[in-house]
A and B are shown apart, each in its own frame.
Chain A
Amino acid sequence: GQQVMQIPQYQHVQEGEDFTTYCNSSTTLSNIQWYKQRPGGHPVFLIQLVKSGEVKKQKRLTFQFGEAKKNSSLHITATQTTDVGTYFCAGPSWGGGNKLTFGTGTQLKVEL
């Protein structure tokens, strides 16, 4: 079945350092979505990318969709303590259906 892997699984950074998480799908995706889950919270939608090679920015966050539409990345510039949480990518399951396949997630911890 379809698999969506993310690396790294965990990342500890000092406040002010940059952070990147990578998402890789075993199948081509029609779109990729990113979610953030704060500790003790629930996943919250961040952004959706649709076009091959698309790049979108939200303040310090930069999202990129690969040319082959099988991978994506999220880059945070100058991390802050408010960035703490787990970041998930998600893509529509291959073969259609009303569901997303979520990635394994990257847990980010930011230390002062």
Chain B
Amino acid sequence: ETGVTQTPRHLVMGMTNKKSLKCEQHLGHNAMYWYKQSAKKPLELMFVYNFKEQTENNSVPSRFSPECPNSSHLFLHLHTLQPEDSALYLCASSQGSYNEQFFGPGTRLTVL
């Protein structure tokens, strides 16, 4: 499946590094999402963008900074992360509020 792509697939970073995760959807959807998935935890919604506008920030620490330049691209800028931020970060898109979401393959992030 190539509807939603994410880069990089794996990332190892130190606590003082700055890095960015990229997501691109080729489905013409108007909503994009960032989720965090930690081991043995349910999917945690982080941010929602609808028509490039942020409509949800689920109490995410400011060390995570999203950017949505257009309806097809979504970034997650990372800085001064903590080891507990190590997780799988999933991007998803959907057409409309209640329709199925299409997920990307995720970025496996390890913070040392």
- A-side interface residues toward B, CB under 8 Å? 30-31, 33, 41-45, 48, 88, 90, 92, 96-105
A33 to B92, CA, bound (A): 15
Q: Give the total of B residues in contact with A, Cβ under 8 Å.
A: 21
Question: What is the predominant secondary structure among interface residues of chain A facing chain B?
Answer: loop
- Supply 19 further A-B pairs (C-beta < 8 A) apart from A41-B105, A42-B105, A43-B92: A43-B90, A44-B103, A45-B100, A45-B101, A45-B102, A88-B43, A92-B97, A97-B48, A97-B56, A98-B31, A98-B56, A99-B56, A99-B97, A100-B45, A100-B101, A102-B45, A103-B42, A104-B42, A105-B42
Q: Would you list 12 pairs from A and B whose C-beta atoms are within 8 A, ordered by A residue? A: A41-B105, A45-B100, A92-B98, A96-B97, A97-B56, A98-B31, A98-B48, A99-B48, A99-B97, A100-B101, A102-B42, A102-B45
Q: Write the residues of chain B forming the contact surface with A, with a CB cutoff of 8 angstroms.
A: 31, 33, 42-43, 45, 48, 50, 55-56, 90, 92, 97-106
Evaluate contact between A42 and B42: CB separation under 8 angstroms.
Answer: no
Q: How far is the CA of A4 from the CA of B42 in the complex (A)?
A: 10
**Are A98 and B101 closer than 8 Å at their CB atoms?**
no
Chain A residues whose CB sits within 8 angstroms of the CB of B43 once the complex forms: 43, 88, 102
Q: A97-B48, A99-B48 are in contact. Are A88 and B42 (CB under 8 A)?
A: yes
- B51's closest neighbor in chain A, by CB? A98
Distance A107 CA – B36 CA, assembled complex (angstroms):
18
Which of B42, B48, B92, B97 has most A Cβ within 10 Å?
Answer: B42
A99 to B45, CA, bound (A): 8
Whether A42 touches B101, Cβ cut-off 8 Å, given contacts A88-B42, A97-B56, A104-B42, is no
Instruction: Find the A residue at minimum CB distance from B105.
Output: A42
CB of A72 to closest CB in B, whole Å = 15
**Complex Cα gap A102–B35 (Å):** 11
A86 to B111, CA, bound (A): 25
